Amino acid sequence: MDRWGRGMSKYVFDQEWHKERERLQALESLFDGSSRRLLADLGVGPGWRCLEVGCGAGSMALWLADRVGPTGRVVATDLDTRFLAGRDRVNLDVRTHNIVTDPLEDEAFDLVHARAVLVHLADRQQVLKRLVTALRPGGCLLIEDVDFGGPTASMLAQYLIAPRYPGPVAAERVYLAIAAVFAANGADGSYGTRLIADLLGAGVAGVGAELHTPVISGGAEQWTRGTVEQLADRLVGTGIVTAGEVEQFLAASAQPDTYYLPPLMVSAWGQRPPS
């Protein structure tokens, strides 16, 4: 059993990479707005007990703590919580925790939220059932995950506009190579397409969902570019994309007059049925 525990893939990314905090913060800048809107629509407010799984750089855990106020409570978990250290709220409990193997309270939370987490888990359906069990009857679940592999890679590539690069930029092959690196580590770059079915299979009631991705101006975000930069050698190692094509993508996506799409984020929500 590796450091991630049985049922969990080897994490694709190097958490010691010198730009990892910036990469995670860039994910937050892209998707926090939609996540907060959806959580507000679910009614999250004063007094709620919330579980934030895979808290990353910590912005959603802090927002939830402020949202639920002094009468509420937020438990924020991750394998590596150092980016949230030193920013505690009185009502925020930060735990170093493996969602696959470590104990988790049953029927303890009014809300469970996880973003870009299940994509990395080999036994996603079983973990999802654990998260539903952690909810009180009638509690709310919001799971958000990515889709950039398979046919979606072609769609994402079609939106890339790079005036300084008159020839085609190999965006589709870059995304397919990232998906291949994910697959080699037991992760699933197309998991977003299966998220709704998995919520239904876990017994979640009142399931709803939406897709979200902003159109990015080059140099305005470091989540997509940071992913490509960190994984560059492994992308080339898949044989899907060349080193020159990876460099071209990074160069083009740094230019302000380039526009492109990051991976889609699929957000799906519902409730644990009342007892």
Residue 234 has pLDDT above 80, yes or no: yes
Question: Per-domain residue ranges for the chain?
Answer: 20-271
> Which pLDDT score, from 0 to 100, does residue 86 have?
64
pTM of the model: 0.93
CA dihedral 78, 82, 87, 88 (to 10 degrees): 50
Comparing CA positions, the residue from 153, 156, 160 lying closest to residue 218 is 160
Residue 3 has pLDDT above 50, yes or no: no
> Which pLDDT score, from 0 to 100, does residue 168 have?
81
Range with the lowest mean pLDDT among 15-19, 103-107, 170-174, 197-201? 15-19
Say which CATH topology domain 20-271 has: Rossmann fold (3.40.50)
Comparing CA positions, the residue from 58, 128, 126, 107 lying closest to residue 87 is 58
> Which pLDDT score, from 0 to 100, does residue 5 have?
37
**Coil vs helix vs strand at 199:** helix
> Which pLDDT score, from 0 to 100, does residue 54 have?
94
Token output for 76: 């924020």
Mean pLDDT across 111-130: 94
Range with the lowest mean pLDDT among 4-8, 98-102, 184-188, 193-197? 4-8
> Which pLDDT score, from 0 to 100, does residue 21 have?
85
Q: Kindly indicate the confidence band of residue 14, based on its pLDDT and cuts at 50, 70 and 90.
A: low
For residues 64 and 74, the answer to whether their CB atoms sit within 8 Å is yes
> Which pLDDT score, from 0 to 100, does residue 70 have?
96
For residues 118 and 124, the answer to whether their CB atoms sit within 8 Å is yes
**Coil vs helix vs strand at 59:** helix
CA dist., res. 83 & res. 134, Å (int)? 25
Comparing CA positions, the residue from 89, 31, 24, 30 lying closest to residue 57 is 24
> Which pLDDT score, from 0 to 100, does residue 184 have?
93
Q: What is the mean pLDDT of the chain?
A: 92
> Which pLDDT score, from 0 to 100, does residue 253 have?
95
